[in-house]
């Protein structure tokens, strides 16, 4: 009895569904013989940013934030134009102490003897390390030198007064055309990155040639590089042309080791101190001889305690290119 009642209930419910479906069909299809298919609903448009485009597309220059300015105590230039010049961009920042006489130590000829170069890099700084343009694989040494807090120069070979002496490949020589001089200089400048300028290797002949030096100075000015005149000739045109053409420049005062002996080098270091005490600044150039490096390892650590300040060459160059920071009194012979 209960089963028949349940089956009846299910049958009644089924008939109700059929009748209801028929009724809905008549209502929805009263205007046409067959019901229309449902039209698809267009999905709502969602705008999303392309991640790849957002990441790779460069920010317009006018929307980029201004570069942070270094504090004035670092001695860096305040103008954007100066910040773009390599002699300032790659300078080792120092706060000059007006109460202390200052000494610049430049070591030339680096890169040919790699073990000597590594000894120079390990010295307390900031030193100014000048790498020979024709030395091989300079990048690792230069990177290590900058990481150690030293400043970099390129040591550019130039013709000596003695034509029998070979200054090295791609040397700048008297009588070369302007195009050749520019090409040889450009070759040297491409050998290294992160340097503030150049100084001359030999050059007692070439630096006296006004026409050739004028080409070199014009190139340095256009590239924003400084010039350190090694002063291998008393009649060098370097400083005069630097002043005329607006090239930041300085000149060597003392050669440390044109006689390679401990006694002589020790005397030249003493002379650098005396000149710094009398003039406020001394610029000394040495070479990676073992005797020179031995004495610098002894002399440098106590320099500050003795009242001196060790500075890189860029700090000895006046901010106004072509002007002299102080009178220069050269001490020592002028090797070619």
Give me the residue spans of the domains in the chain.
Answer: 82-316
What pLDDT score was predicted for residue 208? 98
Going by C-alpha positions, the residue among 154, 153, 143, 151 that lies closest to residue 93 is 151
What pLDDT score was predicted for residue 326? 45
Which CATH class, in words, describes the domain spanning 82-316?
alpha beta
Between CA 50 and CA 46 the distance in angstroms is 12
H/E/C letters for each residue in the chain? CHHHHHHHHHHHHHHHHHHHHHHHHHHHCCCCCCCCCCCCCCCCCCCCCCHHHHHHCCCCHHHCCCCCCCCHHHCCCCCHHHHCCHHHHCCCCCCCCCCCCEEEEEEEEECCCHHHHHHHHCCCCCCEEEEECCCCCCHHHHHHHHHCCCEEEEEEEECCCCCCCCCCCCCECCCCCHHHHHHHHHHHHCCCCCCCEEEEEECCCHHHCHHHHHHHHHHHHHHCCEEEECCCCCCCCHHHHHHHHCCCEEECCEECCCCCCHHHHHHHHHHHHHHHHHHCEEEEEECCCHHHHHHHHHHHHHCCCCCCEECCHHHHCCCCCCCCCCCCCCECCCCC
Is the pTM for the entire model greater than 0.75?
Answer: no
Cis peptide bond upstream of 126, omega within 30: yes
Using only the alpha carbons of the chain, give its radius of gyration.
Answer: 38
pLDDT in tens, the chain (336 residues): 444 444 443 444 443 433 334 433 433 343 334 444 444 444 444 333 333 333 333 434 344 334 334 434 334 344 454 567 999 999 999 999 999 999 999 999 999 999 999 999 999 999 999 999 999 999 999 999 999 999 999 999 999 999 899 999 999 999 999 999 999 999 999 999 999 999 999 999 999 999 999 999 999 999 999 999 999 999 999 999 999 999 999 999 999 999 999 999 999 999 999 999 999 999 999 999 999 999 999 999 999 999 999 999 999 998 644 444 543 334 444 444
């Amino acid at each position: 009895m209960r089963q028949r009642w349940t089956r009846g209930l299910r049958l009644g419910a089924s008939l109700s569904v059929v009748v209801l479906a028929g009724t809905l069909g008549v209502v929805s299809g009263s205007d046409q013989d067959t019901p229309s298919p449902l039209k698809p609903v267009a999905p709502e448009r969602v705008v999303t940013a392309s991640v790849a485009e957002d990441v790779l597309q460069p920010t317009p220059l006018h929307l980029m934030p201004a570069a942070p300015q270094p504090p004035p105590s670092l001695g860096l230039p305040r103008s954007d134009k100066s910040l773009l010049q390599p002699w300032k961009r790659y300078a080792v920042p120092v706060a000059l102490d007006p109460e202390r006489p200052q000494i610049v130590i430049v070591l030339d000829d680096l890169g040919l003897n790699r073990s000597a170069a590594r000894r120079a890099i390990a010295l307390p700084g900031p030193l100014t390390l000048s790498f020979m343009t024709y030395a091989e694989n300079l990048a690792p040494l230069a990177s290590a030198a900058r990481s150690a807090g030293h400043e970099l120069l390129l040591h550019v070979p130039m013709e000596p007064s003695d034509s029998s002496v070979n200054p090295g490949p791609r040397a700048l020589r008297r009588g070369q055309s302007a195009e050749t001089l520019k090409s040889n200089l450009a070759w040297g400048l491409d050998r290294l990155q992160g340097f503030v300028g150049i100084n001359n290797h030999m050059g007692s002949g070439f630096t006296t040639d006004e026409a050739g030096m004028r080409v070199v100075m014009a190139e340095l000015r256009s590239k924003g590089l400084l010039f350190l005149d090694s002063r291998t000739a008393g009649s060098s045109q370097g400083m005069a042309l630097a002043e005329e053409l607006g090239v930041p420049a300085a000149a060597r005062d003392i050669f440390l080791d044109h006689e390679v002996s401990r006694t002589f080098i020790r005397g030249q270091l003493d002379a650098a101190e005396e000149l710094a005490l009398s003039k406020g600044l001394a610029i000394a150039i040495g070479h990676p001889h073992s005797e020179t490096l031995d004495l610098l390892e002894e002399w440098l650590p106590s320099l500050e305690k003795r009242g001196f300040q060790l500075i890189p060459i860029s700090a000895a160059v006046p901010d106004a290119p072509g002007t002299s920071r102080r009178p220069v009194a050269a001490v020592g012979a002028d090797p070619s």
